[in-house]
Amino acid sequence: MCCFANRQVIFPLKTKYKKILKPYFWILRLAALLGHKKARKLVQGQARALDELQEWVKTLGGCQVLWFHAASVGEFEQARPIIERLHSELPFRKVLLTFFSPSGYELRKNYPMVDKVTYLPFATRKNAKQLLEILPLEAAIMVKYEFWPAYLKELKAKNIPTYLISAIFRPSQLFFKPWGKGYLQLLHAFKHIFVQDQASAALLQQHGVEQVSVAGDTRFDRVAEVRKQAKDLPIVEGFVSGAEQVIVAGSTWPQDEQLFARYLSEREHVKLVLVPHEIDAEHLHRIFQLFEGRYVRYTEAKPMSLDKCRVLLVDTIGVLSSIYRYGQVAYIGGGFGVSIHNTLEAAVYGMPVVFGPTWKKFREAHGLLNAGAAITVKNYREFANALDTAFATQHVMGQAATDYVNSELGATNKILKHLNL
């Protein structure tokens, strides 16, 4: 599976691979030539990947390579706990990390816990053969939805142990359709598949894929580790000091921010730490207008000004996971758009979580709702009632969040024990 411009594309195996990939390649090239930034970065990155890897392998002194492949940032976060445990316990291991997405590569190209980060070369048979001739692979680990036929076939042909981690399978997927048998056979290229839940394991076994076990989702291990490493943020601490009620709204979009502008106007005792998903000048300007006279920017905040404002606008990146602990209630943005963002970053602090209506594809959102740790909303009335309820029951809901997160820990240990690297 591949992702481009936030869309997932599956190439049917029964169609000749070249007939599908060739037009797709030229569409990418055309988009790059027309100035699409992501397309240009993707095409250029894929084009140089094989040469980069060939030069890198020369520096390894004959060492074998452990290859992790993630589509983008979200999938990387699921591989991250395993990568970091390996780095800690087996620092001599040579680890390669590849991305399909330009956003994943750009964000993690200097990630210090691996030896090399690059793009996945475009998934043709020729590139797959060349890549596996270059790399002295010990094993390959794909994350969640990465099913590239050319690479999986070549890995299997060379008897390289290949694993899939943090996977989720649903009856609606192509593998389980009458016309998807070719893709179902592709799953046999994996030596073992680690799924997030029992339903996925049962579905695979029902269709003859037996090399499967339930490990859970490694992101729970990741957020637990992030909580241990949370930064002290004096500006946020000063802003919330003495406040009666504090909401931390993470990864917000304009629809979310409009709801908060109304909510704050009706509840004078509530303070808001607002962390927008995008902090470009245009978005920040809209927020300035929305909360005019009531906000202070994180990058400009001075201790003397914090008491007078009701909104702390966090106009920097990399601090959200540490900020949640300063609130009593968390709101996760994106649910009134394409999808909610990361709920676990907040839930790990044992706090109620509120989010909008687009959440059903996320297993952890189901888990938090079923545990009584979260509330989902569809409009302003529900939004206001949910926040009021979360404040009133924050200890009960917060304990439910803690219990749910703790019950899901341990996927990293299960996977590493099975891999026995």
Query: DSSP secondary-structure letter at 256?
Result: H
Q: How confident is the model at residue 103 (pLDDT cuts 50, 70, 90)?
A: confident
List % helix, strand, coil for the chain (3-state, nearest 5).
50, 15, 35
Please, which residues have CB within 8 angstroms of residue 241's CB and are 6 or more apart in sequence?
306
Closest CA to 348 of 412, 276, 409, 273: 409
| pLDDT computed for residue 271 by the predictor | 97
Q: Is the pLDDT of residue 173 over 70?
A: yes
Question: Which secondary-structure segment (H or E) carries 194?
Answer: strand 192-195
| pLDDT computed for residue 398 by the predictor | 98
Please tell me the distance from the alpha carbon of residue 331 to that of residue 346, in angstroms, as a whole number: 9
The 10 Å Cβ neighbour count of residue 287 is 22
The 10 Å Cβ neighbour count of residue 421 is 14
- Which residues is 43 bridged to in the sheet? none
Q: How confident is the model at residue 5 (pLDDT cuts 50, 70, 90)?
A: very low
Please tell me the distance from the alpha carbon of residue 382 to that of residue 376, in angstroms, as a whole number: 8
User: In the chain, what are the domains?
Assistant: 2-216 (3.40.50.11720), 231-407 (3.40.50.2000)
Please tell me the distance from the alpha carbon of residue 71 to that of residue 146, in angstroms, as a whole number: 7
| pLDDT computed for residue 10 by the predictor | 43
Q: What is the dihedral of CA 9, 15, 18, 20, to 10 degrees?
A: -40
Question: For the chain, what's the residue count?
Answer: 421
Which residue is associated with the tokens 């709101």?
A: 331
Q: How confident is the model at residue 22 (pLDDT cuts 50, 70, 90)?
A: low
Residue type for position 283: H
Residues 355-359 have a mean pLDDT of: 98
Q: What would the two tokens of residue 362 be? A: 């996320």
Residues 364-391 have a mean pLDDT of: 98
Residue by residue, DSSP assigns 361-412 as: T-HHHHHHHHHTSEEE-SSHHHHHHHHHHHHHTHHHHHHHHHHHHHHT--HH
Residues 378-396 have a mean pLDDT of: 98
Task: Classify strands 353-355 and 374-376 as parallel, antiparallel or unpaired.
Answer: parallel
Taking the alpha carbons of 75, 79, 81, 83 in that order, is the dihedral positive or negative?
A: negative
Q: Are 45 and 102 in contact (CB under 8 A)?
A: yes
Q: For the chain, what is the mean pLDDT?
A: 90
Residues 60-65 have a mean pLDDT of: 93
| pLDDT computed for residue 351 by the predictor | 98
Residues 312-330 have a mean pLDDT of: 96
Q: Would you call 84 exposed, middle or buried from its count of C-beta atoms within 10 A (0-12, 13-18, 19+)?
A: middle
Which residue is associated with the tokens 């609130």?
A: 327
- Which residues is 245 bridged to in the sheet? 270
Residues 365-376 have a mean pLDDT of: 98
Closest CA to 38 of 96, 106, 108: 106
Q: Is the pLDDT of residue 43 over 80?
A: no
Sheet arrangement for strand 374-376: 295-297, 311-313, 270-276, 245-252, 329-332, 353-355, 374-376
DSSP three-state, residue 326? helix
Residues 174-181 have a mean pLDDT of: 88
The reported pTM is 0.86
| pLDDT computed for residue 1 by the predictor | 42
Residues 127-145 have a mean pLDDT of: 95
Q: Are 360 and 294 in contact (CB under 8 A)?
A: no
Please, which residues have CB within 8 angstroms of residue 373's CB and are 6 or more apart in sequence?
347, 352, 353, 397, 398, 400, 401, 404
Please tell me the distance from the alpha carbon of residue 370 to that of residue 374, in angstroms, as a whole number: 8
Residue type for position 158: K
- The alpha helices in 212-339, defined as continuous H runs, are 218-228, 234-240, 254-266, 281-290, 303-306, 320-323
Kindly report the backbone phi and psi dihedral angles of residue 315, in degrees, each rounded to the nearest multiple of 5, phi listed first: -100, 45
Distance set, CA 67 to CA 32, 53, 99, 149, 260 (Å): 28, 12, 11, 17, 44
Please tell me the distance from the alpha carbon of residue 139 to that of residue 123, in angstroms, as a whole number: 18
Please, which residues have CB within 8 angstroms of residue 225's CB and are 6 or more apart in sequence?
81, 84
Please tell me the distance from the alpha carbon of residue 272 to that of residue 294, in angstroms, as a whole number: 10
| pLDDT computed for residue 11 by the predictor | 42
